[in-house]
Structure 1
Amino acid sequence: MGTIIKTIPAPATWSLRQAVMWPDKPLDYIKLPHDHLGLHFGLFRDEELVTVASLFIIDDNAQFRKLATKTSEQGKGYGSHMLQHLLKVAHSKGVEKIWCNARKEKTGFYHKLGLIETTQTFSKGNINYVVMEKMLP
């Protein structure tokens, strides 16, 4: 079987987003106001949804949001595989810069894939974030 990444509807991302990112919040907390404008992807391992992410493209910039891997499956390369897929999709659509709001404790993961920290930081729900970005060739 193996793994496959495919496009999925926004609501298919919500349950995993909530379980991984904000398990103590209601489901509505993880829904994005512009979810209907994004491209949503699911990484499936043997037909089980393991990782989700959403990509929002505006002109030649793209933001990826809500990259989440099932807790029991973290550290197995699924998040990296998903991010590489997002980079390819963004590049194919003419995106010049891709960026995200990274949790401070997760910056090492994004560094490995070529994103760099900017000076933009903020906090939400007692979690510190930094904007990270990568210029695409």
Structure 2
Amino acid sequence: MAPTNRPQAGMPSQRQLRVGELVRKEVSDILSRGHLADPALEGVIVSVPEVRMTPDLRLASCLVMPLGGQNADKVVDALNRSSRFIRRELSRGWTMKYLPDVRFVLDTRFDDDDRITQLLNRDDVRRDTAHTDSDDDE
């Protein structure tokens, strides 16, 4: 039986990943040029570590984080207000059938990692995992 190229449930396809990376690079370039006329974005460096595309490639969710994390909610709101301008800038040289709508979401992955690490280091959780490990040895 020949292997299929279909992604597993919940996993992005290669096309979603490829288009997401193209959008990420372009959005990063647009933000680095500093042409956005929003006071909340003046002098703020914003990183775009990941862009997640919907399966139909019509919506790009850009995970963003301002350098230092200051005023993160205000920066995300300002980027969402500027999304039409950013989308128009994306359209220059874009060769896809549909141009995705762009929305911005605060990247909380590092905070989530820290929270999970703190939970795993709690005494009661350590005790439970140590108990489970000793059961496996028997």
Same structural fold, with TM-score higher than 0.5 when normalized by the shorter chain? no
Question: TM-score if structure 2 supplies the norm length?
Answer: 0.31
Bigger strand share: 1
For the pair shown, the structure with the greater C-alpha radius of gyration is 2
